[in-house]
Every structure is written in structure tokens, then in C-alpha cells.
Structure 1
Amino acid sequence: MDKFFHIRMLMGTILGLSIAHLLKGVVKIIEHPGKVKSYSVHMLWVLYLLLLIVHFWWWEFSLHLITTWNFLTYLYLIVYTASFYVNATLLFPEVMTDYAGYKDYFYSRRKWFFGVLTATFLLDIIDTLIKGESHMTHLGYEYVFYIAFHVVGYLLAIKIEDERFHKAFVVTVIVYQFVYIFRLYFTLES
């Protein structure tokens, strides 16, 4: 249990920095609305990433079931957790002087953003397997669909610059994330 506590604390620190970075970016827009032009699709991705981070943190509670820890698992979990921080910083860079606003920035960096999200969801498969076969079985076929849906969508988002696609896609993933969380944690079976 001591190793799990140690790992949980480091993961919590990285996730806390991720959330803080997202909140700091939103507050900067609120404080100085005329300084950098905001963009609704970008802000929806901020909301989605915040929801994803909160869900991830809850999801990782299942790590307490692991009785044997090793350095590779520890390192893997740090890399996986760090992917959320990378995406938070990709949504809110330190300097925006090269861009007309968040719309311009978002589309110019979408390949990085969706590439890291793709990697994050692929890393999730390993994370789920680390928690054991019974955990994977509990998640069922919807988990496979959940991962495939996101990965395919992110790969399309890398290729497609059309604003209508991005608006529809971000709204879809936000709604699906809420539904998935509800089905996973608020059903009678849980």
C-alpha cells in the first residue's frame, strides 16, 4: 500500500498541475477578453479535457487492487499521467503572439493535440490491462468501443480542419464522456 500511496501522490501532483493550467488559461481569457480572441471549439476542448482528467483520476482508484509494483509500471503511469499535462499545455500555450487568437492557434496545433490524445487513449488500454483481467471483463465491450471511437475520431480530427466537423465532434465526445461516466459509475451494478 505504501508504494501505491507514493505513486498516487505523484500522479495527483501531475493531474493537479494539468487542472491548474487549464483553469489558469480560462481565467486569463476572463481577465483579459480583448487580449487574445477566444474560440468556442477550443473552449469546448478545454471542458472535455478537464472532464477527462477528473474521470481519469477517479478511474485510477482501481490501482489500489494491484499488489505487486515494479519500476516499469511506475514509469508507465507517470508517462500516462503526463500526457494529460502535455495536452493541457497544448490547449493553453504560454505565448500567443504568433496567433490571431485561439481559433488560429487551435487549428495550427490540432495535429499535436489530437496526436497526444490518441496516444493517451492507447496508453489507457495498457493501464486497464495492468489492473487485471477481471477489471477488463467488468468494463465489457463498451470499453473497446469507447477507445476505438475516440482514437478513430482523433485521427480524423488530425486530418480534417473543417470547423463544422470539430464542433460536432467535440460536442459528441463531451456528451459521450458524460454518458460513459454515468453508465460506468452510477448504474445499479456498480
Structure 2
Amino acid sequence: MEVFSHIKYVIAITLSFSIAHLLRGTVKFIQHPNRVKPYITHLLWVIYMYLTLIHFWWFELRLTEIKQWYFFSYFFIVLYITNYYVICTILYPDDINDYKDYKDYFFSRRGWFFGLLSVAFVADIFDTLIKGTDYFYHFGWEVPVRNAVLLILCLVGIKVKSPKFHLALVILFILYELLFIARLYDIPIK
């Protein structure tokens, strides 16, 4: 249990930085309403990432069931959560002075955003397997198919420049994530 405590703290710190970064970036719209106007698609991706981070933390509770830890499993999980932090910093850079607004910024960085989000969907498969093959298989077909479809949608998101497509895409991601969480995790953990 002592090894898990160490891992739990590293995950918690990085996850806390990620959430704090999203919150700090969003609050700037309230603090300075006349500087830069929000862009709805960008804000919805922020909401999606916030939801994803909370989901990640819930999902990682299953790490308590791992009896034998290895360095590369630990290292992988640290890289996985670090990837989420980088995604959050891409959503909210230190400044956007080089861009007209958040719409311009989002579309100029969509390759990085969707590329790293794609990495997260691939990493999620391995993260689920770290928790054990029984745990992986109890999801049935949904986790591998879900991650493959979301990965493909991210790759399409890199190429497509249409604001309407990106708005529809983020709405789809949020709705699916909420349904996925509700169906699979809305049960108490022992």
C-alpha cells in the first residue's frame, strides 16, 4: 500500500495542476471581460477536459487493487497524467497576444490539441490493462471501440477547419463522456 500512496500523490499533484490551470484560464474571462472574448468551442473543450480529468481520477481508484508495482507501470501512469497537463496548457497558454482571439488560437493549435488527446486515448487502453486483464475485459467491447472511434475523430479534427464541425465534435465528446461515466461508474466503489 505504501507504493500506491507514492503513486497516488504524484497523480494527485499533476491532476491538481491540470485542473487549476483550466480554472485559472477560465476565470480570466470573468476577471478581465474586455481583454479577450471566450470562444464557445474552446470553452466546451475546457469543460470536456475538466470532466475527463475528474473521470481519470475516479478511474485511477482501481490502482489500489494492484499488488505488485513495477517502475515502468508507474512511469507510464506519470506520463499519462502529464499528457493531460500538457493538453490543459495548450487550451490555456500564458497569453494569446499573437492571435486575434481564442477561436484563432484554438484553430492554430488544434493539431497539438487533438494529437495529444489521441495519445491519451491510446494510453487509456494500456492504463486499463495495468489494472488487470479481468478489469479490462469487464468493459466488454466498449473501451477498445470507444477509444478507437475517439482517436479517429481526433485525427479528423486535426484536418478539418470547419468551426461547425468542431462545435459538433466537442458536444459529441461531452455527451458521450457523460453517458459513459453514468453507465459504467455511477455505482459505489467498495
TM class by shorter chain equals: over 0.9
Structure 1 position 67 matched with structure 2 position 64: no
Question: Would the aligned equivalents of 1:37 and 1:100 in 2 still touch at CA under 8 Å?
Answer: no
Question: Would the aligned equivalents of 1:83 and 1:116 in 2 still touch at CA under 8 Å?
Answer: yes
Q: Structure 2 vs 1, CA of residues 2 and 138 (structure 1 numbering), >3 Å: closer, same or farther?
A: same
Structure 1 position 180 matched with structure 2 position 180: yes
Match of 1:152 in 2: 152
Structure 1 position 57 matched with structure 2 position 52: no
Q: Secondary structure at the match of 1:69?
A: coil
Match of 1:24 in 2: 24
Q: Which runs of 5+ in 2 are unaligned?
A: none
Counterpart-to-counterpart distance in 1, 2:22 and 2:181: 21
Counterpart-to-counterpart distance in 1, 2:151 and 2:60: 20
TM-score under structure 1 normalisation? Answer: 0.97
User: Which residue identity lines up with residue 127 of structure 2 in the other structure?
Assistant: D
Match of 1:163 in 2: 163
Match of 1:111 in 2: 111
Counterpart-to-counterpart distance in 1, 2:76 and 2:173: 26
Structure 1 position 80 matched with structure 2 position 80: yes
Q: Which runs of 5+ in 1 are unaligned?
A: none
Q: Secondary structure at the match of 2:139?
A: helix
Counterpart-to-counterpart distance in 2, 1:176 and 1:12: 25
Match of 1:15 in 2: 15
Q: How far is the alpha carbon of 1:29 from its aligned partner?
A: 1.1
Match of 1:132 in 2: 132
Counterpart-to-counterpart distance in 1, 2:30 and 2:91: 16
Q: Structure 2 vs 1, CA of residues 187 and 5 (structure 1 numbering), >3 Å: closer, same or farther?
A: closer
Alignment root-mean-square deviation, CA: 1.3
Counterpart-to-counterpart distance in 1, 2:61 and 2:87: 22
Q: How far is the alpha carbon of 1:187 from its aligned partner?
A: 6.1
Matched residues, number: 189
Q: Secondary structure at the match of 2:94?
A: coil
Q: How far is the alpha carbon of 1:92 from its aligned partner?
A: 0.2
User: Which residue identity lines up with residue 179 of structure 1 in the other structure?
Assistant: L
User: Which residue identity lines up with residue 16 of structure 1 in the other structure?
Assistant: S
Match of 1:98 in 2: 98
Counterpart-to-counterpart distance in 2, 1:127 and 1:187: 21
Deviations 1:93-120 (A, max 9, x none): 0021101110000000000000000001
Question: Would the aligned equivalents of 2:125 and 2:143 in 1 still touch at CA under 8 Å?
Answer: no
Counterpart-to-counterpart distance in 2, 1:167 and 1:129: 32
Q: How far is the alpha carbon of 1:177 from its aligned partner?
A: 0.3
Match of 1:47 in 2: 47
